[in-house]
Amino acid sequence: MSARILAALALLVCFPLTASAQFDTDARLQDEITSSLRSYTRLTIFDDVTSHVQNGVVTVAGKVTMPFKKDEIARRLADVAGVQEVRNDITVLPVSIEDDDLRKRVARAIYGNSAFFRYAAMPRPPIHIIVENGYVTLMGSVPTDVDRVLARSLASGKGERSVTCALRTESESR
């Protein structure tokens, strides 16, 4: 009888450690996945990709402008040590000359504004401009709410159907 009690106690003691260890592993893996995505040089301000890790399974989502990016990202993340599986929920944006022109107009308006010069000079500018069938979505993060409102204002009136501002401030991102 005492052997059963000891075995039950051992299981109770081990389960919290296992959950904690899995959380640490997923957190470490998320850091490596994020680093891998940041170092992928083919992502531009016209792409937006996010990732989530749970129990070693990486779910990657977002929108990219070219089909090869979707495939390369999945292969790249599958090569990270500790990844059990990659679920690729990335959407490839439709090819459209009008959308390409709109992307450029919105990017010029935002990154050509003196308030955003400092972002334009960064290797990975923080504001991503997603254009799909004439609809503009601003993704990413900016330091202040003033930057968020200004970016949305600058993106408007460029021939788009609508502008959705999904920018987060740095305090919201924490």
87-138 per-position pLDDT tens digit? 999 999 999 999 999 999 999 999 999 999 999 999 899 999 999 999 999 9
Helix (H, G, I), strand (E, B) or coil at 158: coil
Over 90: is that where the pLDDT of 16 sits? Answer: no
Strands (E), the chain: 48-54, 57-64, 85-92, 127-132, 135-142, 162-165, 168-169
Q: Among 7-16, 54-63, 82-91, 105-114, where is mean pLDDT lowest?
A: 7-16
Domain 97-173 has CATH 3.10.450.50: no
Q: Which of 122, 111, 124 is nearest to 37 (CA)?
A: 124
pLDDT band at 4 (very low <50, low <70, confident <90, very high): low
> What is residue 19's predicted lDDT score, i.e. its pLDDT?
46
Domain residue ranges in the chain: 2-92, 97-173
